[in-house]
Copies of this chain bind each other. A is one copy, B any other.
Amino acid sequence: MDTTTLDIDAMRAAAGQATAVLSVLANANRLLLMCQLGQGEKSVGELEELLDLHQPTLSQQLGVLRAEGLVNTRRDGKKIYYSVADERVLALLATLYQLYCPRAGDSTR
């Protein structure tokens, strides 16, 4: 039996899932948003201040995160709170953090 063809199809399917998420994270604003959300739930206003983005730009990128199912939202009065919805993305963020975030004042090293 020819496992080659099967393998490549399965791989393409998995790659499709992965690239969907990678595409979302492959933007500095969105990646930073997800990093912030990785630390815990935040309101749009908080995110706006943390990242210093124009509000519509922020909202648009949050829309992308929503559309891909990477975040959950919760309304409380006027404010809307965002949080990370996908465990796998959390794991990915952790790996990225390890690899690309210089620990300038890291005393544990």
Residues of chain A whose beta carbon lies under 8 Å from any beta carbon of chain B: 8, 10-12, 14-19, 22-23, 25-28, 31-32, 35, 50-52, 88, 91-92, 95-96, 98-102, 104
The 28 sampled A-B contact pairs (Cβ below 8 Å) are A8-B50, A8-B51, A8-B52, A10-B102, A11-B35, A11-B101, A12-B28, A12-B32, A14-B100, A14-B101, A14-B102, A15-B28, A15-B31, A15-B32, A15-B100, A16-B28, A18-B31, A19-B26, A19-B27, A19-B31, A22-B22, A22-B25, A23-B26, A25-B26, A26-B26, A88-B100, A91-B95, A95-B95
Stoichiometry (number of copies): 2
Which residue of chain B is the closest to A33 with respect to CB atoms?
B15
